Amino acid sequence: MTSAIPEGSDPHGQTRTGQGKCPFPHAQASLTRKPDLTAQPGGPVELDGRGIYRVNDFQVAREVLRSEDTAQAGFGADMVTQLSALKHQPVLYTEGQEHHDMRRDTARYFTPTAVAAYHPFIAGLADRLVGDLVRQGEGNLDDLSLTMAVQVAAQVVGLTDSLLPGLQRRVMAFVEGEGDSEPGTENTQTLAARLHQLVDVPMFYALDVKPAIQARRKQRRDDLISHLLDKDYSDLEILTECLTYGTAGMVTTREFISVAAWHLLQRPELRADYVHGTEPERHAILHEILRLEPVVNTLYRRAQTDMQIGGQLIPQGSVLALNVPNTNADPTMAGEDAAQLCPGRSLPRGVQAPVLSFGDGHHRCPGAFLAIRESDVLLRRLLIWNDLRVVTPPTVTYNEVIKGYELRNFRIALG
């Protein structure tokens, strides 16, 4: 058995028991899903009335994500892959050898060594954000987490030469659309929302992406845009990659920082374990919160051929929707207390602590380590203040673009 916490120990000094009941007294369940509204798993694969195959079983979901016979179907894949003007498809939507080559070429931006190089920037930004909160006495945690997520990702991507302030606002505009964007179904987005996007994308390009491209044409830097220029990407192709990283990286990290803080502020003993723990122990707690609260609730794949999945024939062209909260809480994988928070949880060999929260297979999130590191830096600096408290719990809503929760108006205060 493997776990992010060393075998045979836990933050409380107890001996772990293996799969089964959690050895800790944290009876904390999900804060973003109400028990009576949470979809109850049925069979491993179920065909719904919309013609989509719903996957609730961990083993089946991981098989789908690792299969070379499936293709990315979420995050607007149907629309993006049909853009004939793109010679180079965004890495999120490529498959096969092309995808493997692109991931290998860009992996250096997300290794632990690369992330360590960003640490001074991350630490300095976290200090400034906490300093602002100390001076003001009160603020929105979701605003602090947005600044952290956007500014760190901007360093990695290369969006550092904007003509005007407001990068955060422009990034968030892409995920504030309306309507059901589920692949394989009719998009019910309103005309107003579509017109809104027609304005947002050109503005993002003109104010943020184009200045960054121009600066790097003059002098390359160690970031993604410079790499894409070296690969002869067009401005449009670079724009689509920036949009991808904006929604897939910045927005999701923002939500995770907020939900992790919410859990830790509700559990004083867990907060103490986190604040006084070693880095591996802190990361283990964050990974377990992410297992319980995956930001992206549904991952989509399209069958490229007829497939046998979970004992069921999936016809070519069919869409599979993987319910990440259900797969992460599969008791056959995570134990009988899988719906509760347990940082010392034992998992089967080969299963990582966040389970499928970062995906799996060749499309697994490349920025997973960076997301946890920046979250840890900000959260520890906040939670080490003993008088940090919740003024107003966040409002929980659902975002149809990223297929996950949003936490807003999360007011915290010092003193």
Question: Can you give the pTM of this predicted structure?
Answer: 0.88
Joined tokens for residue 144: 């602090």
Query: What counts of helices (H) and strands (E) characterise the chain?
Result: 16, 12
Residue 212 CB: number of other CB atoms within 10 A?
23
Segment 41-44 long-range contacts (CB within 8 Å, at least 24 positions apart): 41/323, 41/326, 41/330, 43/310, 44/310, 44/311, 44/312
Q: Say which residues have a Cβ less than 8 Å from residue 117's Cβ, sequence separation at least 6.
A: none
Q: Which of 12, 24, 81 is nearest to 340 (CA)?
A: 24
Pick the CATH number of 45-414 from 2.60.120.10, 1.10.630.10, 3.30.420.40, 3.40.190.10: 1.10.630.10
- First-to-final CA distance of the chain: 43
Domain boundaries, the chain: 45-414
Question: Tell me, what's the pLDDT at 62?
Answer: 97
Q: Which residues of the chain have pLDDT under 70?
A: 1-27, 34-42, 75-86, 91-93, 177-181, 184-198
Taken as a whole, the chain contains a residue count of 415
Dihedral through CA 248, CA 251, CA 256, CA 261, nearest 10?
Answer: 160
Residue type at 134? V
Give the pLDDT of residue 402.
85
Please report, as a single letter, which amino acid is at residue 194: R
> In the prediction, which pLDDT does 43 show?
75
Closest CA to 205 of 228, 234, 176, 229: 234
Q: What is the pLDDT of residue 10?
A: 41
d(CA 304, CA 29): 37
Q: Are strands 45-47 and 388-392 parallel, antiparallel or unpaired?
A: unpaired
Are 356 and 327 spatial neighbours (Cβ–Cβ below 8 Å)?
A: yes
- What residue ranges in 107-226 does DSSP mark as E strands? 138-140
* Contact assessment for residue 69 and residue 307, using Cβ atoms and an 8 Å cutoff: yes
Count CB neighbours of 411 within 10 A.
Answer: 15
Task: Give which of 371, 385, 393 is closest to 414, Cα–Cα.
Answer: 385
Predicted local confidence at residue 38, as pLDDT: 43
What's the pLDDT at 314? 96
- CA torsion sign, 398 to 400 to 402 to 403? positive
* Exposed / middle / buried, residue 89 (Cβ in 10 Å: 0-12, 13-18, 19+): buried
